[in-house]
């Protein structure tokens, strides 16, 4: 089977590439990535020379280049991870989120229609459901929860989901959609909560916690997400949406304190800063459908996953130090300078 994985030079996409290369020694993987600030070829170093792997620097919104690629490669399956993914950046500059996340998704599906495909899989997010109140721990997002977005990021992801469902209904395109909770693990860009806090703590820099730190996220180790996507692509019902999550809710403050404890750093590094505009309070996934229909369950408990993740960032300092030494400095100053 030939997989086309978009956004494979980013966090989850690269982990998915590694997952496929290891699990299916007979399969080929074509990785498409335009290498934005979030894409990093160093991440893919270990597979770059593998004859079963090919890297193509292409923008998913570039129709001509995407069509030429499909014509040449004729993939069996497309898994679309490529996206602008950071909520804070979507508050600063929504335009690029619409271009990549909505128009890019449309271009990929048009190419699938034109050249034929066994399955198009859209990697979506639980953020399309909006948020849940902090004082109702009995409430969870199911696949039936209505779309109710808060940020330009989540709105663009929800728009893409609607487009994917429309292409299924109108054109009969074989599709599936997964909506996962927050991921953590190796190769996550250090602008997101967990790697940012690890990097700052290791440099004895302040840890900027938004608002009161009481917002809740539902954390899933990245390999569990990859296994779920693989299952959905191979066994999931055509046209269906699957939520992915492992009932791992933590307040941001709990996460930050876990990191400080593991690195033996003082809690005085925590700095409460101005809240994110429109900040979603709580995400919590009900994963009953994917468990019932496909037998998926997460295998990495939060404590073990955090241990592995922190170890990885300790062992791969050059990977993230390269990133935070470049353009990232300008972003950091702009985002946190006056907060």
The interface partner of residue 209, options being ligand TYD, ligand NAD, none and the CB cut-off 5 to 8 Å by kind, is ligand TYD
Q: Between 274 and 299, whose beta carbon lies closer to ligand TYD?
A: 274
Q: Between 191 and 269, whose beta carbon lies closer to ligand NAD?
A: 191
Nearest-approach distance from CB 268 to ligand NAD, in angstroms: 28
Q: Between 5 and 173, whose beta carbon lies closer to ligand NAD?
A: 5
Nearest-approach distance from CB 269 to ligand TYD, in angstroms: 13
Structure-token match 């690629």, residue found: 69
Q: Do 279 and 210 form a contact (C-beta atoms < 8 A)?
A: yes
49 among known catalytic residues: no
Backbone angles phi, psi at 11, to 5 degrees: -65, -70
Q: Between 209 and 306, whose beta carbon lies closer to ligand TYD?
A: 209
Question: Which positions ≥6 away from 185 have C-beta within 8 Å?
Answer: 11, 15, 221, 222, 223, 305, 308, 309, 312
User: In whole angstroms, what is the distance from residue 110 CA to residue 175 CA?
Assistant: 12
The catalytic residue among 56, 59, 127, 161 is: 127
* DSSP one-letter code for 338: T
The catalytic residue among 153, 184, 187, 313 is: 153
Neighbours of 235 (CB within 10 A): 12
Neighbours of 43 (CB within 10 A): 23
Q: Do 81 and 8 form a contact (C-beta atoms < 8 A)?
A: yes
Tokens of 18: 């590694």
For residue 129, give the nearest of 293, 295, 278, 283 by alpha carbon: 283
For residue 285, give the nearest of 73, 72, 142 by alpha carbon: 142
Residues contributing to the site for ligand TYD (CB under 6 A) = 87, 182, 192-193, 196, 208-210, 215, 217, 252, 276
Residues contributing to the site for ligand NAD (CB under 6 A) = 6-7, 9-13, 33-36, 38-39, 59-61, 81-85, 100, 104, 123, 125, 157, 180, 182-183, 189
| Residue closest to ligand NAD, measured at CB | 10
- Helix (H) / strand (E) element for 106: namely helix 105-115
The interface partner of residue 11, options being ligand TYD, ligand NAD, none and the CB cut-off 5 to 8 Å by kind, is ligand NAD
For residue 178, give the nearest of 287, 305, 96, 101 by alpha carbon: 287
153 among known catalytic residues: yes
Nearest-approach distance from CB 308 to ligand NAD, in angstroms: 16
126 among known catalytic residues: yes
DSSP helix/strand/coil, 34: coil
Q: Between 2 and 63, whose beta carbon lies closer to ligand NAD?
A: 63
Beta strands 77-80 and 2-6 are parallel
The catalytic residue among 33, 59, 84, 126 is: 126
Nearest-approach distance from CB 20 to ligand TYD, in angstroms: 25
Nearest-approach distance from CB 181 to ligand NAD, in angstroms: 7
**Bridge partners, 273 (sequence order):** 210
Nearest-approach distance from CB 85 to ligand NAD, in angstroms: 4
The interface partner of residue 196, options being ligand TYD, ligand NAD, none and the CB cut-off 5 to 8 Å by kind, is ligand TYD
Q: Between 61 and 259, whose beta carbon lies closer to ligand TYD?
A: 259
Q: Catalytic residue positions? A: 126-127, 153
């Amino acid at each position: 089977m030939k997989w086309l994985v978009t956004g494979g030079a980013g966090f989850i996409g690269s982990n998915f590439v590694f997952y496929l290369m290891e699990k299916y020694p007979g399969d080929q993987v074509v990785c498409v990535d335009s290498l934005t600030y979030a894409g990093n070829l160093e991440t893919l170093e270990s597979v770059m020379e593998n004859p079963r792997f090919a890297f193509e620097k292409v923008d998913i919104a570039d129709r001509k280049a995407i069509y030429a690629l499909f014509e040449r490669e004729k993939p069996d399956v497309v898994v679309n991870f490529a996206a602008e993914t950071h909520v804070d950046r979507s508050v600063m500059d929504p335009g690029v989120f619409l271009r990549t996340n909505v128009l890019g998704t449309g271009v990929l599906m048009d190419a699938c229609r034109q050249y034929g495909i066994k399955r198009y899989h859209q990697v979506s997010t639980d953020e399309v459901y909006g948020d849940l109140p902090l004082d109702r721990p009995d409430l969870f997002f199911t696949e039936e929860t209505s779309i109710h977005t808060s940020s330009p990021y989540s709105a663009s992801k929800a728009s893409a989901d609607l487009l994917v469902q429309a292409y299924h209904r109108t054109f009969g395109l074989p599709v599936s959609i997964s909506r996962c909770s927050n991921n953590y693990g190796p190769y996550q860009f250090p602008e997101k909560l967990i790697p940012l806090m690890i990097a700052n703590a290791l440099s004895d820099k302040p840890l900027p916690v938004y608002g009161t730190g009481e917002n809740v996220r539902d954390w899933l180790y990245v390999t569990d997400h990859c296994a779920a996507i693989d299952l959905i692509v191979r066994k999931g019902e055509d046209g269906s949406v699957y939520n992915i999550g492992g009932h791992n809710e933590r307040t941001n403050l709990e996460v930050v304190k876990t990191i400080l404890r593991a690195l033996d750093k003082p809690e005085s590094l925590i700095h409460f800063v101005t809240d994110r505009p429109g900040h979603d309070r709580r995400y919590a996934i009900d994963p009953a459908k994917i468990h019932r229909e496909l037998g998926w369950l997460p295998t990495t408990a939060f404590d073990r996953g955090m241990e592995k993740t922190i170890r990885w960032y300790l062992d791969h300092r050059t990977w993230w130090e390269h990133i935070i030494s470049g353009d990232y400095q300008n972003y950091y100053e702009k985002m946190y300078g006056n907060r």
